[in-house]
Amino acid sequence: MRPLTAKGTGIMVKDDIYQASLEYHSRGRPGKISVVPTKPTLTQRDLSLAYSPGVAEPCREIARNPDDAFKYTSRGNLVAVISNGTAILGIGNLGALASKPVMEGKGVLFKKFADIDVFDIEVNTLDIDEFVDTVARLEPTFGGINLEDIRAPECFEIETRLKERMQIPVMHDDQHGTAIISGAALINACEITGRKMGDLRVVVNGAGAAGVACTNYIIGLGVKAENIIMCDSKGVLNKQRDDELHWSKLPFVRDVKGKYLADVMEGADLFLGLSVKGAVKPEMLKKMAKNPIVFAMANPDPEIDYPEALAARPDVLMATGRSDFPNQVNNVLGFPFIFRGALDTRAKAINEEMKRAATMALARLAKAEVPDSVSRAYGGERFSFGRNYLIPKPFDPRVLYYVAPAVAKAAMDSGVARVKIDIEEYREQLRRKTEPGRAVLSVALSKAKQLRKRLALPDATDKRTISVAHQIINEGIAKPVLIGEKARILAAMEGFDEDTFEIVDPARPPEHEVLETRLRESQGMFADTKLDAFSLAALMTDLNMVDGMLSASDRVYKETVPSVLRHVRKRTGVKRVVGMHIMIIKDKVLFFADTTLVIRPTAEELADCARLCSEAVAALGVTPRVAFISYNIFGASPDVEAQRVRDAYELFHTRNPGIESIGEIQADIALSPDEFRNVVSAERMPRAANVLIFPNLDAANAAFRLVRVTAEAAALGPMLLGLRRPANVMPRVATVAECVAMAGITLAMPVLASESGLYRKAGDDASGAWRVAK
């Protein structure tokens, strides 16, 4: 049956999504999670280490030193998701067993977003003492406790008692997750509307777990308690209801005349909804102050739909729990990353300082430029800080390395961390988890940040080029030298200090005697002739007026590369400039060449290409293992094309005996030699190749494009190798993040190459000899 959708939204209607969910959960192995061994279990010896008798020794070590449990077991990365099923989503009390699908789902989110392992535990009791005793006795098993779907008011007492009794992080996500994320949205909404927290007049609808927690949390952010009016399902919490209210609601009782929600909305700046669908009517919004902030967070449907709210108040800033409306307050922006930071510092608790650090990190991230990868995850929609983008999107991978380090630092600063970690190093480790291949790229990025060199960015009025300039300034990678029309560039760089970038207008090129001479020689120009930005950037690069150049604009090949090749000279001894792509495939990084320039290279040129690639790969901290790719293998065919590749391998191998190389060889064998030991011995090829030299441009270019699409790989490049000064050109399909990474590589590569253990001999001639440093 074709899925039904709500008109214009692409969202499945409820009957269909419910049926699809049943099929999803029952298909294949029932449920959503499983336990997977992290150590080998292939042999009898493996089993004797995993269990008896070998396992006895870690037991003894932990008995001697309990902290060794973090060394020898999974405790440091294991969280319990625990419920009694009394408040399942918006459904209600269905019991412990019925809550299991939700708890498994929570485990999936922990693993997906923060690589945290989870056991879901459903406790079949309504008795608070029994529940607390059961959970507390589980402390030796886990690094943290996530309480879930426990009804109010019992949840307040349960969490409080467990936090007092246990020495590991305990957090009831229904309370604090929503508070932390909506708090970030509120900070940014106040900034956009020019409000101060202490001046806000607030109406809260919903006095359950989330409502009480969110209200207490915004008081901690600076909202005055006396400016808050709270309602529950029976109406306003006023003095007339003192006797009937639970203790958790008493702090919010106010001496007001209004009895119902509609009576107290007049002049309110902020509405916090944690109640039920339809609780707010359009006429209520019309009573609110100018630019009202409306956080209608009822689950699964908000107190008022976004289109209805917008029709009533076009000036509204609105957030909901729904993904099809702007500003989704989704708890997945919080709990995985808060626990990640807590676990990695072995924190004894999740305290207010850690929660506030998470809020501030989310608010800060919302103001950062949103990468293309996030836009692609949301159908190509573009996001930028403003009314419709107050908080990051759940599928923004940067949340991990923004929030977790902030939480970890707060844990250390507030004294609940058991271990101290280097926050910047930790942030980099997390970035590597979210950005495949960053382990390789981080070598260049770290070096670029140390150097802080000047990078020419031609065509700097181009939108993508400006985005790249913004990001390399924000990340401290370089000082961009923006080449283009000065007035337009200044407008695009508004908000950045002028000492963080430079502008060169081709209409008024810098005074430089050699530059003027080169212009006349290469282009036959008169001194006052208007100069294109790419030629100027290339000439400035060649003349060492800048430290390198990167073309990041949305231009075709013929508009960019010829300027580089015409004006930036080759290195001594280089046959041809070549292009190398860095292919990032999950946790594997490969290097393909020549993907860009030389259509049908000779054997000499192929050997030289391999030499240049080996230098670049070694500079990135990777040991090059070169394979010369062919349809043929080891001389099986006398064909002249196969012979050309074979000759290239022989030239390279003879001149560079210290580098692992093989050829001519088929691509699958080069990448998976262990599967073809009947063809190639372990002695001849002990490990898989990582540098693939293709026989011609057709093969190399087709290969990198096929891999990029079919393997969902990131293709970074091409890197132009063989130039005397660093200059690179990004393709039209490149993302801003890829351009920023290439900026770091461009500037760092000359220094890294000189520091690498693999280097050119002094006075190297056209033979291109290399050796490995002793």
Active site residues per annotation: 51, 106
> Where is 454: in which H helix or E strand?
strand 454-458
Residue 88 DSSP class: B
- Could you identify the residue written with the tokens 């009694």? 84
In the block, residue with structure tokens 């700046």: 269
3-state helix vs strand vs coil in the chain, percent to 5: 45, 15, 40
Q: Are 612 and 604 in contact (CB under 8 A)?
A: no
Residues in Cβ contact with 424 at an 8 Å cutoff, skipping those fewer than 6 apart: none
* Edge-to-edge strand list for the sheet holding 660-665: 660-665, 625-629, 691-693, 588-593, 578-585, 714-721
Reduced to 3 states, what is the DSSP secondary structure of residue 575? coil
CB 350, CB 336: distance < 8 Å:
no
Of 321, 329, 330, the C-alpha closest to 298 is: 321
Torsion of CA 270, 273, 279, 282, to 10 degrees: 30
Task: Give the side-chain half-sphere CA count within 13 A for 614.
Answer: 30
β-pairing verdict for 625-629 and 691-693: parallel
Alpha-carbon distance 170 to 105, whole Å? 19
Instruction: Write the CA distances from 293 to 130, 243, 560, 626, integer angstroms.
Output: 42, 32, 47, 59
Which of 537, 528, 469 has its CA nearest to residue 497? 469
Burial 130-158 (b: 16+ CB within 10 A, else e): ebbebbeebbeebbbbbbbbbbbebbbbb
Q: Within 10 Å of residue 205's Cβ, how many Cβ atoms? A: 27
Paired residues of 661 in beta bridges: 626
Is the distance from CB of 481 to CB of 501 less than 8 angstroms?
yes
Q: What is the C-alpha radius of gyration for the chain, rounded to an integer number of angstroms? A: 31
Cα–Cα distances in angstroms (integers) from residue 553 to residues 460, 468, 489, 580, 719, in the given order: 8, 9, 14, 19, 16
Tell me which residue has tokens 């800033």: 317
